[in-house]
């Protein structure tokens, strides 16, 4: 059997590795546009900030390493055609076209940074971050730059803004919505982050889209709304990612609102064509409707399911909650499930409580404040949680992910056992304080 | 209504506070042998180590603070009699006897350090750690001491041994069993801790009980087994805690194998007599049999249930898993549920896997090794987990506590979503690696 995988990102390359773990015989070819594979794009901002020394450090494996596993990785190719009747893909490398047969085709085409149509986006000094080469270009450009504007205050935008500030640039972080991290955080929680970013010297401009970029050949200024004009030696467009769907359309795959439709075995609507990663839709665990989960972890988890499907084993990908975490400077912030406004948009009347606790016993040195917000539906079932602190956020998000997955109410969780020692927690865990408080709203 | 609480530890004092939160009218009296209340005994080792500056820091409230909440705390009393027919308690303070009526009596008598009968235990320089005064005595004694033996390598023993080492003493930690933390860790996991303690300069002597202590008026030497004799200016007996049951017996309460029997509302077998904390037995979540859970968190959680019971509200205390965590020097270690040998003793054939992972992405600076052991029953249902690392242990234990409480299998958990960012986790969480590995044993 011959499996051809289009895309060398987390979804594609993990699918290749996972198939190989299950089966030594299957022929596996990965076709990728990039010249590098097996790196974590999530790490790009940390290289830019100087926290990680070099881009080389974040490359986990080379195409040669995959050769050793008998996985053929062909880099710097453009796949131009898919024919799902004849079961072929056509790709171009160095101007030369090759037609390749497949028994099973995996579309791991990922996403492209979405750049709103706007005057000046084609100027030099305007960047988007899709891959490691983009990261290198930004790294090069920031050496001569004094000021930067990062537009789009999702995770990547915030992380890049912080990185550039660390490198001594004057940085503006701009977001057209009235808050940062709108997908995962409520405004009051995101305000804690804004305050921190401002304390670190980043200027945060909310509620105003960039309307044009100004410059001769190189960007010099950005215009916010109608009148506000800021200088900028470089502009990073971190305005989101759109699934890349051209090949999926060519193959005849059914496309949903945002991306390729797959079932819980990662099969598309076309026989022997599968899809994985940022280019597919997932099921939302709470509502059961479709959603988009463009996270590295989701891609990696999907790749395990897909490898089992391809190898003829029992497989099932579960609905997602889009559990996330990030760290910017000292602050770790994470979230899972629905925000208050997302719940409202979906006709859930959320019952919400925010508490502040500590990461250690009150009397233990270096106890840090921890802000927690818990969101329940009208029955007390937990549907969301957001946490910000200098430490110990990620695993608490994981606990809440498990609680939501299991359908627990705030009353259930209030009774749960938590491990305690003065250096690592409060005798009543911050999560328990939060769910106890929200429980009171149901009395 | 008048509630009399005997005992001012976590169970007793929290019961008082929690009753007051629910009801402003109930008369509440707490009778305690100590001269201090509302401190965390778990913090004593960290004061001894110098990490926390003074014992004053760990006292959260004074009897006067309770007065303000209309809770009468009477310190330094010995309760000598309980008459559950007449509903009275008799206590002595400053040689004077007082008889006090109650409508409801709470026994929060806690536990006493168990000291094995042995020649020399009455010598000066031999200590046990029950309360803050014991801590102060050890603090005073260690100023002049050059060497110490801590016997009993449970949490308190290890923490105290490390504290004394931090203060520059030569320290021997001894345990009659062939491993440390036998209640919570498998031997191979506890060996990681032993190695660390030894690296920190603590001599660990396993598998040999102390048979006698030698000295004139003050301890000078300890004898291990028949022949081995070590010098010691001080000896700490950390050989466990036994529930204090005299008053419970006097009241006619049914006593189990280790402690007072209570139902899930914290009611004893005697009407209007309740019990809470280290002096009661709990239900074991996995087997449903009785167990003993002498943890501060358990006492605090029980006190919430008991307060609701006393105030006539719906209340239920759930079975326990004895989830624990501690930190000694750099190392954080935690566990929940059954060890391999405890499972075997209870006729469960455990399926066990140990993995080593990292606390951050491989390429991120300061990623620390994390050792995880997962224990399942024959069906793959998770029944135990042990984790050791320099960071981020406690919350992962909490996630596993929730997983065990919900009856999840290793296969279920393998599919779970975890939050990821390079500075705080691996793209596949260490817990997932562990449950994936143990899952393979069921193929």
The model's pLDDT over A92-121, given as tens digits with 9 standing for 90+, comes to: 999 999 999 999 999 999 999 888 889 999
What pLDDT sits at residue A38?
Answer: 80
Residues with Cβ within 8 Å of A161's Cβ and at least 6 positions away in sequence, in order, are A148, A150, A153, A171, A173, A197, A202, A236
CB contact under 8 A, B10 and A60: no
Q: Under a CB-based contact definition with an 8 Å cutoff, are residues B284 and A417 in contact?
A: no
Give the position of tokens 């100004």: A214
Q: What is the mean pLDDT of chain B?
A: 96
pLDDT tens track for B181-230: 999 999 999 999 999 999 999 999 999 989 999 999 999 999 998 788 99
Nearest-angstrom CA–CA distance, A95 and A136? 25
Most B CBs within 10 A among A9, A393, A420, A431, hence the mutation to make, goes to A420
CB contact under 8 A, B420 and A364: no
Nearest CA in chain A to B316: A415
CB contact under 8 A, B402 and A401: no
- Name the residue ranges covered by the structural domains of chain A: 2-34+76-112+242-310, 115-239, 324-440
Q: Does domain A2-34+76-112+242-310 have CATH number 3.50.50.60?
A: yes
How many other CB atoms sit within 10 Å of the CB of residue A382?
A: 28
CA dist list (Å): A238 to A119, A186, B256, B264: 17, 20, 64, 54
Nearest-angstrom CA–CA distance, B198 and B185? 18
Question: Which 3 state secondary structure label does DSSP give B187?
Answer: helix
* Structure-derived torsion over alpha carbons of residues A391, A394, A399, A401, reported in degrees to the nearest 10: 150
Instruction: Compute the nearest-CA separation of B94 from chain A (Å).
Output: 32
pLDDT tens track for B42-57: 999 999 999 999 999 9
CB contact under 8 A, B402 and A399: yes
Instruction: Compute the nearest-CA separation of B406 from chain A (Å).
Output: 8
Q: Under a CB-based contact definition with an 8 Å cutoff, are residues B125 and B234 in contact?
A: yes
What pLDDT sits at residue A221?
Answer: 95
Angle at B106 between CA B101 and CA B111, to 5 degrees: 125
CB contact under 8 A, B405 and A421: no
Antiparallel, parallel or unpaired: β A281-283 and A290-292: antiparallel
User: Is pLDDT of B60 > 90?
Assistant: no
Nearest to B326 among A297, A421, A429 (CB): A421
User: Is pLDDT of A41 > 90?
Assistant: no
pLDDT tens track for A244-287: 999 999 999 999 999 999 999 999 999 999 999 999 999 999 99
Residue A117: is it exposed, middle or buried by C-beta count within 10 angstroms (0-12/13-18/19+)? exposed
SS (H, E, C) chain A: CEEEEECCCHHHHHHHHHHHHHCCCCEEEEECCCCCCCECHHHHHHHHCCCCCCHHHHECCCHHHHHHCCEEEECCCEEEEEECCCCEEEEEECCEEEEEECCEEEECCCEEECCCCCECCCCECEEECCCHHHHHHHHHHHCCCCEEEEECCCHHHHHHHHHHHHCCCEEEEEECCCCCCCCCCCHHHHHHHHHHHHHCCCEEEECCCEEEEEECCEEEEEEECCCEEEECCEEEECCCEEECCHHHHHHCCCECCCCECCCCCCECCCCCEEECHHHEEEEECCCCCEEECCCHHHHHHHHHHHHHHHCCCCCCCCCECCCEEEEECCEEEEEEECCHHHHHHCCCCCEEEEEEEECCCCCCCCCCEEEEEEEECCCCEEEEEEEEECCCCHHHHHHHHHHHHCCCEHHHHHCCCCCCCCCCCCCCCHHHHHHHHHHHCCC
CATH class for the domain made up of A324-440? alpha beta
Q: Which band of pLDDT confidence, cut at 50, 70 and 90, is reported for residue B135?
A: very high
Q: What's the CATH code, domain B115-239?
A: 3.50.50.60
How many other CB atoms sit within 10 Å of the CB of residue B149?
A: 28
What pLDDT sits at residue B226?
Answer: 77
pLDDT > 90: percent of chain B? 94
Q: Which band of pLDDT confidence, cut at 50, 70 and 90, is reported for residue A146?
A: very high
Nearest C-alpha neighbor of A77 from the set A93, A89, A90, A88:
A93
User: Is pLDDT of A331 > 90?
Assistant: yes
CB contact under 8 A, B398 and A298: no
Q: Under a CB-based contact definition with an 8 Å cutoff, are residues A108 and A11 in contact?
A: yes
pLDDT tens track for A6-37: 999 999 999 999 999 999 999 999 999 998 88
Question: Which 3 state secondary structure label does DSSP give B15?
Answer: helix
User: Is pLDDT of B37 > 90?
Assistant: no
Q: Which band of pLDDT confidence, cut at 50, 70 and 90, is reported for residue A218?
A: very high
β-strand partners of B175: B206
- pLDDT average, residue stretch A413-424: 94
What pLDDT sits at residue A95?
Answer: 94
Q: Under a CB-based contact definition with an 8 Å cutoff, are residues B212 and B223 in contact?
A: yes
Nearest-angstrom CA–CA distance, A269 and A291? 17
What pLDDT sits at residue A364?
Answer: 95
Nearest to A52 among B322, B332, B365 (CB): B365
Nearest C-alpha neighbor of A160 from the set A201, A120, A128:
A128
Q: Which band of pLDDT confidence, cut at 50, 70 and 90, is reported for residue A40?
A: confident
User: Is pLDDT of A443 > 80?
Assistant: no
Nearest CA in chain B to A396: B395
Instruction: Compute the nearest-CA separation of B301 from chain A (Å).
Output: 8
User: Is pLDDT of A60 > 90?
Assistant: no
Backbone angles phi, psi at B266, to 5 degrees: 70, 25
Q: Do domains A2-34+76-112+242-310 and A324-440 have the same CATH topology?
A: yes
Q: Under a CB-based contact definition with an 8 Å cutoff, are residues B219 and B126 in contact?
A: yes
Nearest to A419 among B40, B323, B423 (CB): B323
Angle at B278 between CA B276 and CA B283, to 5 degrees: 75
Residues B42, B279, B376, B385: which is the catalytic one?
A: B42
β-strand partners of A66: none
What pLDDT sits at residue B41?
Answer: 87
User: Is pLDDT of B136 > 80?
Assistant: yes
pLDDT tens track for B272-303: 999 999 999 999 999 999 999 999 999 999 99
Question: Which 3 state secondary structure label does DSSP give B48?
Answer: helix
Nearest CA in chain A to B298: A417
Q: How many residues does chain A have?
A: 443
What pLDDT sits at residue B21?
Answer: 97
- pLDDT average, residue stretch B388-401: 97
Q: What is the mean pLDDT of chain A?
A: 96
What pLDDT sits at residue B443?
Answer: 75
How many other CB atoms sit within 10 Å of the CB of residue B345?
A: 10
Residue B50: is it exposed, middle or buried by C-beta count within 10 angstroms (0-12/13-18/19+)? exposed
Which fold is adopted by the domain B2-42+52-111+242-310? Answer: FAD/NAD(P)-binding domain (3.50.50)
- pLDDT average, residue stretch A337-365: 96
pLDDT tens track for B146-174: 999 999 999 999 999 999 999 999 999 99
Nearest to A419 among B10, B392, B397 (CB): B397
């Amino acid at each position: 059997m011959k499996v051809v995988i289009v895309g060398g990102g987390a979804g594609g390359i993990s699918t290749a590795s996972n198939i190989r773990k299950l089966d030594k015989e299957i022929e596996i070819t990965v076709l990728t546009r990039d010249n590098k594979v097996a790196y974590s794009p999530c790490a790009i901002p940390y290289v830019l900030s100087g926290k990680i020394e070099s881009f080389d450090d974040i490359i986990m494996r080379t195409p040669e390493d995959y050769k050793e596993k008998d996985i053929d990785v062909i880099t710097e190719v453009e796949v131009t055609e898919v024919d799902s009747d004849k079961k072929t893909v056509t790709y171009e490398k160095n101007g030369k076209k090759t037609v390749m047969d497949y028994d099973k085709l995996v579309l791991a085409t990922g996403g492209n940074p979405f750049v709103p149509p706007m005057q000046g986006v084609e100027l030099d000094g305007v960047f988007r971050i899709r891959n490691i080469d983009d990261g290198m270009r930004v790294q090069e450009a920031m050496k001569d730059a004094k000021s930067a504007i990062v537009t789009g205050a999702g995770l990547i935008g915030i992380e890049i803004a912080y990185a550039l500030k660390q490198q001594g640039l004057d940085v503006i972080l701009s977001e057209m919505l009235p808050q940062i991290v709108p997908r995962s955080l409520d405004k009051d929680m995101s305000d804690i982050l804004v305050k921190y970013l401002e304390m670190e010297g980043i200027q945060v401009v909310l509620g105003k889209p960039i309307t044009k970029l100004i410059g001769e050949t190189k960007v010099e200024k950005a215009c916010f709304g109608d009148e506000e004009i800021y200088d900028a030696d470089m502009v990073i467009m971190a305005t989101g990612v759109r699934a890349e769907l051209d090949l999926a359309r060519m193959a005849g795959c059914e496309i949903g609102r945002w991306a390729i439709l797959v079932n819980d075995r990662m099969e598309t609507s076309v026989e022997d064509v599968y899809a994985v990663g940022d280019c597919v839709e997932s099921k939302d665990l709470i509502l059961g409707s479709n959603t988009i989960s463009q996270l590295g972890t989701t891609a990696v988890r999907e790749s395990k399911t897909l490898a089992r499907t391809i190898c003829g084993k029992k497989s099932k990908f579960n609905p997602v909650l889009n559990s996330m975490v990030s760290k910017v400077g000292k602050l770790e912030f994470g979230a899972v499930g629905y925000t208050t406004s997302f719940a409202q948009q979906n006709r859930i009347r959320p019952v919400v409580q925010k508490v502040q606790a500590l990461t250690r016993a009150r009397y233990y040195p270096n106890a840090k404040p921890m802000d927690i917000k818990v969101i329940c539906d009208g029955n007390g079932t937990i549907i969301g949680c957001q946490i910000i602190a200098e430490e110990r956020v990620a695993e608490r998000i994981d606990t809440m992910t498990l609680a939501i997955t299991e359908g627990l109410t705030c009353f259930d969780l209030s009774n749960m056992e938590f491990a305690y020692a003065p250096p690592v927690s409060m005798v009543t865990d911050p999560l328990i304080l939060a769910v106890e408080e929200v429980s009171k709203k149901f009395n």
